[in-house]
Amino acid sequence: MRFRSHNPVFQRVLKTAYEGENYEVASYRGVAFKTIYFIALTILGAIISLWAAMAHPNALGSLLPIALVVTIISSMLALWVPSLSQVFGSVYCLGEGLLVGFVSLLFELEAPGVVLTAILATIVVLIVVTTLFVTRAIVVNSRFIRFLLIFSISMFLTQLLLWIISFSFGITYSFGFSMLTSGIMVFIATLFLLFDLESITQVVEGRAPKQWEWYVSFGLVFTIIWLYMEILPIIAQLFFDRN
């Protein structure tokens, strides 16, 4: 069986590995179940974090730096090596759940109700983006991907430069500038959602091996978590202004 895709990355990776072989193909159902699995692991990690914050706060303080390092390493392995996405994607979601749970708790203590609002906002964005993608109101093509890569890399480098300037010279940025930056990051995460949905479509419609369900599912969940973490401080600031 041969994998068919317009995505040059998938073509290059799979051309020699699976060409001429028979294998079980990916399906939307499989992607959906694996996406739920990764989300469930993230929620489990968040629950553990909340429990540890109440029962063993000192232990949680020691665990969080380890979780941060583990999530960075595991996310790179899961995203760069598709065959490892099942294992290291699971590790990432569990570890990231610990971090997300702790950060969410801090925001919730300062602005009660902010976490639920951020979750609902994330779900709304996901529904809107999915609708736009399914109806082909927005088409993800090579031009879209080039724009996404150039824009996101430029933004990340700009943020890194601003952080270095702030750290080196003690410069603080205004509320308006911070909100603008957060808004741009939400926009980038939203564009990556479209890219993830296109990747899922390419894998399923192109009849890729079933193992690739893990890869595209993890990519989607990774972006959803990122989107939530970008929306959360924006919603929190709106809560602060209201109070």
What is the mean pLDDT of the segment spanning 141-165? 89
Q: Higher pLDDT residue, 163 or 22? A: 163
Tokens of 43: 């929620």
What is the mean pLDDT of the segment spanning 185-210? 94
Q: For residue 126, which amino acid is it? A: L
Q: Higher pLDDT residue, 123 or 158? A: 123
Give residue 243's pLDDT band: very low, low, confident or very high (50, 70, 90): low
Residue 37 has pLDDT above 50, yes or no: yes
Contacts of residue 214, defined as CB under 8 A and 6 or more positions apart, other chains included, come to 34, 82, 85, 86, 89
Task: Spell out the domain ranges in the chain.
Answer: 8-242
Mean pLDDT of the chain: 88
Alpha-carbon distance of 184 to 189, in angstroms, equals: 9
Of all residues in the chain, the percent with pLDDT exceeding 70 is 89
b/e per residue, 180-210, with b = 16+ CB within 10 A?
ebbebbbebbbbbbbbbbbbbbbbbebebbe
Tokens of 30: 């499989």
CA atoms within 13 A of residue 197's CA, in its CB half-sphere: 22
Residue 34 has pLDDT above 60, yes or no: yes
Q: For residue 73, which amino acid is it? A: I
Tokens of 159: 């943020």
Alpha-carbon distance of 125 to 113, in angstroms, equals: 19
